[in-house]
Amino acid sequence: MSDIVLKTENLTKRYGGVHALEGANFELRKGEHVAIMGDNGAGKSTFVRQITAVEQRTSGQIWFDGKEVNFNGPIEAREAGIETVFQNLALADDLDVPSNLFLGREKVLFNLGPFSILDRKYMRKATEAALVRTAVKIPNLSNTIRHMSGGQRQCVAIARTATFASKLIIMDEPTAALGVQETAQVENIIRTLKDNGEPLILISHNMRQVFDLCDRIVVFRRGRIVANLRKQDTDGQDIVSYITGAKTGEAELAA
Amino acid sequence: MAQTSHGVGGLTYDAKKRSWPAEFNVFLALVILVAIFEAIGRIFLGDSFLFNTRSDVAGIFNEARLQIIILQVSIVGIIAIGVTQVIISGGIDLSSGSIVGATAMIAMSFAQVATVNGNPNPKAMFLAQGLTDLPVIVPLLVAIGCGLLAGLVNGALIAYTRIPPFIATLGMMVTARGIAKWWSKGQPISFPTDSFAAIGKGLMPVIIFLSLAVLFQLIMTYTRYGKHCYAIGSNEDAARMSGIKIANHKILVYVIAGILAALAAVVLSSKNLTAQAGMGVMYELDAIAMAVIGGVSLSGGRGSIIGTVIGALIFGVIISGFTFLRLDAYYQEMVKGVIIVGAVVLDQWRQRLRALRA
Ligand SMILES: Nc1ncnc2c1ncn2[C@@H]1O[C@H](COP(=O)(O)OP(=O)(O)OP(=O)(O)O)[C@@H](O)[C@H]1O
Ligand SMILES: [Mg+2]
């Protein structure tokens, strides 16, 4: 169990009558990069929201970093070392880039409880450094992000996870809105994480990307995990047939 | 052309063409408004609104008028500071006027003198208990306690039961007014000690208002608290996912609003040398109007204390302007209503305009 970073057993989430996630058994080992694929509405983001405790699960168990965990909210998950780029990005439109990057964990000059004085210079410098890694172009960091492009916003969210030390990074469709250059850059960030042995869960609809970056592919369909395949044992065609339901995973999973 | 790259990725932008702060527009509105009153005054009354036209008084400006403009908005302005941070963080506070009433009554009864003209103070609430001629810190602390308690109830209701701020503070508005009336069974409470009376004397309300405005402008800009106000008002879900403790923050926001309303009550009752149960009626709406006129967005996330201060001045100019033009007080009320709605409509337009320009 020692090299398992994250494990879920029978993780289930229902929204009223909607069975968004049913009995998900999932494992992630040290240094491993796992892709989650599946159609729209397959339950991928729901799975992430249960792990990060943005929502409270209906049933099931989660182990992280060697212990069973029951996070009370996203703060606890983050404090335990899970950094997440949520699909809806979780950004505050009326704040500028540095404020968003450091949202909820601002660097302070003097600690005066809630009235702690912010270290704005430091946060600005760190933001510039973090954004350079994503290759995004943002003309003025002091503008609010309200009118920034989808890709710029996405890079802010990605830069956020890369700025803080963590034990597990989860990215929910991080390159969905990005241009060619920015996508390549984000993929480079992910490769760097791999080289540093940092585990990652990547949700993506991009087959090429998944095969380029990940060791293992887990397919969700209608709230269930229908396939869990090592990259070398499968190919794009195979994955697509699991996603569409042409192939069902029961046999393989049982084997 | 001064093109500088302040951003990342080598994209250039013209630093000179940065959009000016929203407060500047509000300030412009203030200047235009003053100019309008000045023009009307010159043309129809042969008198100046802003400038000194009397030969027996020194100075370029009509200082008496300037003082009145700011003095009459100072007390509501103190409340508006609290209301501004409430609105920025996505809430609303309808209870501030009633908190003023209740706090004025309760605090004043701990600020009374024992004897008036050699006789026992006829209005003293706690004469029998010997609670008269107390040091000024006592009524001050009592007031802060009242504001804190009211804010705590507001904040806890909003944070934990998740009822809309509009409803929670409406409840407090009615309840606090009830407390104000019940406290002395409708009797006014008068004859404060000299030290209590000093708090609201002369230009003291203005000094207190502006000092608090500066303090809170700094808090909203440079502290974690301020940052979180904007974050929560902008996108509460994002703030929650980013690890901000929403419930705690909201409670603190309403507590601060309550304490500021209580301070306004102290200044008001000190200035009037009496407290009455009807004090502060409708102040909550005036305070909200000042904020909205000052560019604070009712949908949260945008605005500033500076904006609200300018909004308060616009308010003061309008009231003084009407007096200057010798228009009835009735018109003031009517126009105030139009201004409040107008400011909200303007806010909506501003948001749509921003979206179009993007
Ligand atoms: N709060 C909610 N209330 C009710 N139903 C919900 C809620 N959140 C998600 N669902 C439903 O749960 C299902 C799974 O949604 P989820 O967001 O996990 O999909 P996804 O796999 O991430 O899809 P996509 O690729 O489009 O992001 C969907 O049918 C969705 O409508
Ligand atoms: Mg999703």
Percentage of chain B modeled with pLDDT above 90:
63
* Structural domain boundaries enclosing A19: 4-244
At residue A255, the pLDDT reads 41
At residue B112, the pLDDT reads 92
Interface touch B234/A120, C-beta < 8 Å? no
Percentage of chain B modeled with pLDDT above 70:
93
| Contacts (Cβ under 8 Å, ≥6 apart) of B305 | B81, B84, B85, B213, B216, B217, B220
Q: Does residue A56's CB lie within 6 angstroms of at least one atom of ligand 1?
A: no
Does A131 touch chain B if contact means CB atoms closer than 8 Å?
yes
- Residues in chain A closer than 8 A to B90 (CB atoms): none
Q: Which residue has the higher pLDDT, B216 or B351?
A: B216
At residue B109, the pLDDT reads 94
Res. B355 pLDDT band, cuts 50 70 90:
low
- Two tokens at A128? 């510039």
At residue B34, the pLDDT reads 93
Lowest mean pLDDT among B46-60, B124-138, B268-282: B46-60
| Contacts (Cβ under 8 Å, ≥6 apart) of A110 | A116, A117
Q: Is A249 a member of any domain?
A: no
Sheet holding A18-29, edge to edge: A18-29, A4-15, A59-64, A67-68
B144, B258 contact by CB (below 8 A): no
Does A90 touch chain B if contact means CB atoms closer than 8 Å?
yes
Q: For the residues of chain A, what is the DSSP string, one character each?
A: -TTEEEEEEEEEEEETTEEEEEEEEEEEETT-EEEEEE-TTSSHHHHHHHHTTSS--SEEEEEETTEE---SSHHHHHHHTEEEE-TTTT--TTSBHHHHHTTTS--EEE-BTBTPEE-HHHHHHHHHHHHHHHT--BS-TTSBGGGS-HHHHHHHHHHHHHHS--SEEEEESTTTT--HHHHHHHHHHHHHHHHTT--EEEE-S-HHHHHHH-SEEEEEETTEEEEEEEGGG--HHHHHHHHHTSS-SHHHHH-
Res. B5 pLDDT band, cuts 50 70 90:
very low
- Two tokens at A101? 């990057």
Low-confidence residues of chain A: pLDDT under 50:
251, 254-255
- Helices within chain B (DSSP H only): 22-40, 63-88, 96-108, 137-156, 165-183, 194-198, 204-222, 224-234, 236-241, 246-272, 283-293, 305-324, 329-357
CA of A202 to the centre of ligand 1 (A): 17
Q: How far apart are CA B222 and CA A109, in angstroms?
A: 10
B350, B65 contact by CB (below 8 A): no
At residue A254, the pLDDT reads 43
Looking at 1.10.10, 1.10.3470, 3.40.50, 1.10.1740, the CATH number of the domain B24-36+59-350 comes to 1.10.3470
Q: Does residue A178's CB lie within 6 angstroms of at least one atom of ligand 1?
A: no
Indicate which atom in ligand 1 lies nearest the CA of residue A205.
25
| Contacts (Cβ under 8 Å, ≥6 apart) of B249 | A114, B89, B225, B228, B229, B232
| Contacts (Cβ under 8 Å, ≥6 apart) of A45 | A86, A87, A172, A203
Q: In this structure, which amino acid lies at residue B162?
A: R
At residue A20, the pLDDT reads 92
Nearest chain B residue (CA) to A91:
B238
- Two tokens at A172? 């929910």
Long-range contacts of B346-353 (CB under 8 A, 24+ apart): B347/B292, B347/B295, B347/B297, B347/B298, B347/B299, B350/B297, B351/B297, B351/B299
Q: Is the ipTM of this complex over 0.85?
A: no
Domain count of the fold of chain A: 1
At residue B9, the pLDDT reads 54
Interface touch A141/B6, C-beta < 8 Å? yes
Q: Are strands B189-190 and B274-275 parallel, antiparallel or unpaired?
A: antiparallel
CA distance A78 to chain B (A): 8
| Contacts (Cβ under 8 Å, ≥6 apart) of A70 | A62
Burial profile B28-44: b = 16 or more Cβ within 10 angstroms, e = fewer: ebbeeebeebbeebeee
Option in B11, B225, B301 nearest A137 (CB): B11
pLDDT at B3 over 50: no
**Which residue in A50, A82, A85, A95 has the most chain B C-beta atoms within 10 A of its own C-beta, making it the best mutation to test that interface?**
A95
Q: Give the dihedral of Cα atoms B287, B83, B103, A115; nearest 10 deg.
A: -150
Interface touch B6/A78, C-beta < 8 Å? no
A150-163 helix and A180-195 helix, angle to the nearest 10 degrees: 10
Residue nearest to atom 25 of ligand 1 (CA): A40
B93, B254 contact by CB (below 8 A): yes
Indicate which atom in ligand 1 lies nearest the CA of residue A47.
18
| Contacts (Cβ under 8 Å, ≥6 apart) of B273 | B190, B191, B192, B197
CA of A45 to the centre of ligand 2 (A): 4
Res. B354 pLDDT band, cuts 50 70 90:
low
A52, A77 contact by CB (below 8 A): yes
pLDDT at B1 over 50: no
Q: Does residue A174's CB lie within 6 angstroms of at least one atom of ligand 1?
A: no
Q: Which residue has the higher pLDDT, A196 or B310?
A: B310
Q: Does residue A46's CB lie within 6 angstroms of at least one atom of ligand 1?
A: yes
Option in B12, B238, B244 nearest A91 (CB): B238
CATH number of the CATH domain containing A152: 3.40.50.300
Nearest chain B residue (CA) to A78:
B243
Lowest mean pLDDT among A86-90, B27-31, B317-321: A86-90
Q: Which secondary-structure segment (H or E) carries B20?
A: none
Q: Does residue A87's CB lie within 6 angstroms of at least one atom of ligand 1?
A: yes
Interface touch B234/A89, C-beta < 8 Å? no
Among the ranges B17-21, B44-48, B310-314, which has the highest mean pLDDT value? B310-314
Q: Is A251 a member of any domain?
A: no
Q: How far apart are CA B100 and CA B92, in angstroms?
A: 16
pLDDT at B182 over 60: yes
Domain residue limits, chain B: 24-36+59-350
Q: Which residue has the higher pLDDT, A138 or B103?
A: B103
Q: What is residue B87's DSSP assignment? A: H
Chain segment B119-140, per-residue pLDDT in tens: 888 888 888 787 888 999 999 9
- Residues in chain B closer than 8 A to A138 (CB atoms): 7-9, 11
> Collapsing DSSP states into helix, strand and coil, what is residue B6?
coil
At residue B7, the pLDDT reads 54
Indicate which atom in ligand 1 lies nearest the CA of residue A49.
18
Q: Which residue has the higher pLDDT, A51 or B162?
A: A51
Average pLDDT in chain B: 89
Option in B6, B237, B252 nearest A114 (CB): B252
Long-range contacts of A225-228 (CB under 8 A, 24+ apart): A225/A24, A225/A25, A225/A26, A225/A249, A225/A253, A226/A250, A226/A253, A227/A252, A227/A253, A228/A252, A228/A253
Q: What is residue B15's DSSP assignment? A: G
Chain segment B231-270, per-residue pLDDT in tens: 999 999 999 888 899 999 999 999 999 999 999 999 999 9
Does A30 touch chain B if contact means CB atoms closer than 8 Å?
no
